[in-house]
Amino acid sequence: MKACRREPVPYTPVWFMRQAGRSLPEYLRLREGVPMLEACARPDMIVEITMQPLRRYAVDAAIFFSDIMVPLKAIGVDLDIKPGVGPVVADPIRDRSGAAVLRRLSPDDVPYVTEAIGGLVGELGATPLIGFSGAPFTLASYLIEGGPSKNHDHTKAMMYGDPVLWDDLMRRLADITIDYLKVQVEAGVSAIQLFDSWVGAVGPEDYRRSVLPHTRRIFEAMEPLGVPRIHFGVGTGELLGLMGEAGADVVGVDWRVPLDEAVRRVEPGKALQGNLDPALLFAPWEVIEERARDVVARGRTAEGHVFNLGHGVLPTTDPDKLARLTDLVHEVSAR
């Protein structure tokens, strides 16, 4: 929390995106036969999965176990998360009547989120719990395409060709995101992260015109709640300055841009998060150590730095390497 607020810290804090699940054998055992969206709606599973990495790694924060599609499912969107594929939407949104079905979210839509966060806050004690949501562009991409997309053809076609419909859809998704994040903060999370995983697909001018106003509104709505706000996207090196302008306290950086270069791209008054390439964890330890030390050193040029990977933990990552990496970062960054 201190690093997010650019306050002095005794060492660089560490957490990992997707540290809850995927690579942990105990997670895979628990999830066996349980669909993703069902797991995300069971408070007992949410609590257990969120806590699992903290028993293995000396990470400085927990990340709430969920999925960015949960709030859309909660308001009645017909979707599923298919193993090996990702989110699949039964009726892609391509017109005004499709967008009109997206209503505001209330706490009663996600009682399992409130219950799970309450349980986690009790178990975690002084360890912060990070809540999160998907950002409007990324959610829109899934809703418009009907599932994962490499080129985001339909999404961009709407953004370029029907800006009125696009604006309506993004406004509705921003409302849902604000509602969902407020539920999490009011239940007790210590910080929130907005994942705009696919926004790197757009250029700076399109981001400024068609994405930034909606993202900014989310962060402005979060500001009075007083929790650190983190903003992260993939392939967003050209957008880092604009993502900082959107209003987050911390800008997440993927592995494509060194942190000292990110410092130059992001306006002053921001902390940075990142940014070891997740694939490096498959390299020999001496390579991991060298690169991790480099990330820590470059991170010292930022006003605040939270060590993380440049994207989520990959499914076949060795958990022992994550434990060793966490200890290394704490050791080499100790002031």
Nearest by Cα to 203 from 237, 250, 253, 163 = 237
Residue 293 annotated as catalytic? no
- Beta strands 79-82; 86-89: pairing state: antiparallel
Residue 256 annotated as catalytic? no
The single residue of 5, 42, 67, 80 carrying the catalytic annotation is 67
The single residue of 31, 94, 265, 293 carrying the catalytic annotation is 31
The single residue of 27, 57, 112, 142 carrying the catalytic annotation is 142
Q: In one letter, which amino acid is 302?
A: A
The single residue of 22, 94, 291, 324 carrying the catalytic annotation is 22
Which residues in the chain belong to E strands, given as ranges? 62-63, 79-82, 86-89, 129-134, 191-196, 229-233, 250-252, 271-276, 305-309
Contact yes or no for 219/253 (Cβ under 8 A)? no
CA dist 244 → 151, 229, 266, 269 (Å)? 25, 11, 6, 9
Residue 31 annotated as catalytic? yes
Both tokens of 64, joined, read 């709430």
Contact yes or no for 62/98 (Cβ under 8 A)? no
Residue 67 annotated as catalytic? yes
Residue 94 annotated as catalytic? no
Residues serving a catalytic function are 18, 22, 31, 67, 142
